[in-house]
Amino acid sequence: MPDSYLVLFERGLAQHLDDIELGLYKPNAVYTAAEATLERPAIVSGPDLPTTLDNVIALTTLDPIREGRANFTHRIQILSRLKGTKVQASNLAWNLATALDHKEGIPEGFNVSWVSLFSQLTFTKDSNGRYSTAQTFYLRGRRPLS
């Protein structure tokens, strides 16, 4: 069975984040702890987070909003988690927002006309010393043809 449009969309966004060096995306390989650094966390498909990696960006596709016959709003939640300082975690969240918010055509080839940051929630350090931020982005565009 071929991959669904939403799976392909999430992969396209992961590749975009890799291309602009905000994270490391390996579509068909396992990450090692040494690869997932503070500077380039591993990009994974959420909502489950890997227990062996401290530095992660997890992409979770939420149900899209279908608007009429032609419009489509993708909703993606990005959870970034770092084992570093609160400032490093805040910087990653800021860089993700800066790279995506109020942009057009991201990810490339998916007919997205506008991206906006809808919400953001910062979490305090967990028992393993990792800070997290959850951000929800709305990506508005045209409905896929198939």
Question: pLDDT tens for residues 82-140?
Answer: 999 999 999 999 999 999 999 999 999 888 999 999 999 999 999 999 999 999 999 99
Beta strand segments in 28-86, E: 42-45, 56-67, 71-82
Domains and CATH numbers, the chain: 5-142 (3.30.2000.10)
| Predicted confidence (pLDDT) at residue 146 exceeds the cutoff of 70 | no
Please determine, for residue 29, whether its predicted confidence score (pLDDT) is greater than 80: no
Percent of the chain with pLDDT over 70: 99
User: Cα separation of 124 and 4, whole Å?
Assistant: 35
pLDDT at position 11 over 70: yes
Q: Are the C-beta atoms of 120 and 93 separated by less than 8 Å?
A: yes
> What is d(CA 20, CA 34) in angstroms, rounded to the nearest whole number?
20
- 130 DSSP assignment: -
What confidence score (pLDDT) does residue 33 get? 85
Q: Which pLDDT score is estimated for 25?
A: 95
Distance of alpha carbon 52 from the chain centroid: 19
